[in-house]
Structure 1
Amino acid sequence: MGSLQELPISDAYVFTPTLHGDERGAFLEWYKADLFAREIGHPLNLAQANCSISRRGVLRGVHYADVPVGQAKYVTCLTGSALDVIVDLRVGSPTFGRWEVVELDETTRKGVYLAEGLGHAFLATSDQVTCVYLCSEPYRPAKEHGVDPLDPELGIAWPEGVEPVLSPKDAEAPSLAEALSLGLLPDYGECLAYYAKLRSS
């Protein structure tokens, strides 16, 4: 069935599936609604599914959405490999400004779940990478934001020797300090209240 383990940043998890392989190939259950609901405390509402295809060096993120409603994500890598990064952007959180890296690839088939209010980014580390996302809410451009993934104060440890390729929007994203001063970041208390609402419903 696989296992779901919470990361040092609360409300972020890594899923390690059980792989069944033989001479034909492999089979796995890459998402289990009952397991996620039991561990997270509520079902993951599926409102949108995204597929991202990137070449080596493409860096997407750090992206997040206003809470409420926010957008929880479950991300896995179908082909290639990527460094997936979760950033705690929730102002007032004990781990505010911290980040965690999980390697996603076509061998381990791991996946990452991150709750509303957490920031997400990934760096493509193979020639071509296909990642898919299950999203709890649809994309709402007016509610979506970003933080500079290369912000030295944030200090994400991207691999040396890789020249990141960013979209114009991501390249112009504010630093963590700028986003904080502009009042753009989610509030930890509001996130906790929203999680509690999801669990109670």
Structure 2
Amino acid sequence: MKITETELSGVYLIEPKVFGDHRGWFMESFKKANFEEAGLDIQFIQDNHSFSATKGTLRGLHYQSNPKAQTKLVRCTKGAIFDVAIDIRKDSENYGKWYGVELTEENKKQLLVPKGFAHAFMTLTENVEVEYKVDEVYSPENDRGILWNDPDIGIEWPLDVEPILSDKDKNAPTLKEADNNFSVEDN
């Protein structure tokens, strides 16, 4: 398993080793020892699984505020997504900056999105399934979002289409307006 920190401190690209033969393939999608060797001590407690039927579906920019913030380990198990992490720690030198990567069922890459970052993805194909681990349960009281097309963030979404959004995501505040209690000290 190759674990590489991205240009956003704390966000990691995970590339599992895939072993294939005439029967198919095998991989370890998560191994605690590999994460610990990379200095990542995360106690995942829940796995989530989502399905999006239509290409151009956008979910996010989502996060949970403290004290129920979540670290997520995201992978696409069917289809393809453009996965994004945005640094929303107000005292970070990377505040408002984003990192995006294509996660597909073929490349089997994963993105580790730590606490203090908002997360979103856009589906690049029809019938997409995304699975992700979290280290904190869902908390409706701490559920927050940021507008997907906030010009101050300037995410370069790969599809030039009007995305399919939930009402919650359509009406999310900008980063400047968002309820955010994160700092670098939290990570």
TM-score over 0.5 for the pair: yes
Q: Summarize the alignment of residues 70-85 of structure 1 with structure 2, pairs less than 5 Å apart.
A: 70-85=69-84
Separation in 2, partners of 1:134, 1:160: 26
Provide the secondary structure at the position in 2 that maps to 1:178: coil
Please give the per-residue CA displacement for 1:10-50, whole angstroms capped at 9, x wherever unaligned: 111010111111111111111111111232441x2222211
Query: Partner of 2:16 in structure 1?
Result: 17
Separation in 2, partners of 1:26, 1:128: 22
Query: Partner of 1:162 in structure 2?
Result: 161
AA paired with 1:178? Answer: E
The count of aligned residue pairs is 186
AA paired with 1:15? Answer: I
Query: Partner of 2:181 in structure 1?
Result: 186
Provide the secondary structure at the position in 2 that maps to 1:170: helix
Tell me, which stretches of 5 or more residues in structure 1 are unaligned? 196-201
TM-score (norm 1): 0.88
Query: Partner of 1:32 in structure 2?
Result: 31
Query: Partner of 1:64 in structure 2?
Result: 63
Contact 2:68–2:142 (CA under 8 A) maintained in structure 1 = no
Q: Are residues 1:146 and 2:145 paired?
A: yes
Contact 1:67–1:190 (CA under 8 A) maintained in structure 2 = no
Shift of 1:153: 2.0
Shift of 1:160: 4.0
- Of 33, 39, 47, which aligns to 2:45? 47
Separation in 2, partners of 1:101, 1:80: 17
Separation in 1, partners of 2:108, 2:36: 20
Separation in 2, partners of 1:160, 1:70: 29
Shift of 1:90: 0.7
AA paired with 1:88? Answer: D
Shift of 1:68: 2.9
Label 1:106 to 1:125 Cα distance change in 2 as closer, same or farther (>3 A): same
TM-score (norm 2): 0.95
Separation in 1, partners of 2:105, 2:78: 5
Separation in 1, partners of 2:10, 2:3: 12
Query: Partner of 2:133 in structure 1?
Result: 134
Tell me, which stretches of 5 or more residues in structure 2 are unaligned? none
Query: Partner of 2:101 in structure 1?
Result: 102
Please give the per-residue CA displacement for 1:110-143, whole angstroms capped at 9, x wherever unaligned: 0111111111000000111100010100000101
Query: Partner of 2:7 in structure 1?
Result: 8
Shift >6 Å, 4+ stretches? none
Contact 2:78–2:127 (CA under 8 A) maintained in structure 1 = yes
Provide the secondary structure at the position in 1 that maps to 2:38: helix
AA paired with 1:51? Answer: H
Q: Give the fraction of aligned pairs with identical amino acids, expressed as a percent.
A: 37
Please give the per-residue CA displacement for 1:45-69, whole angstroms capped at 9, x wherever unaligned: 2222110101211100001111234
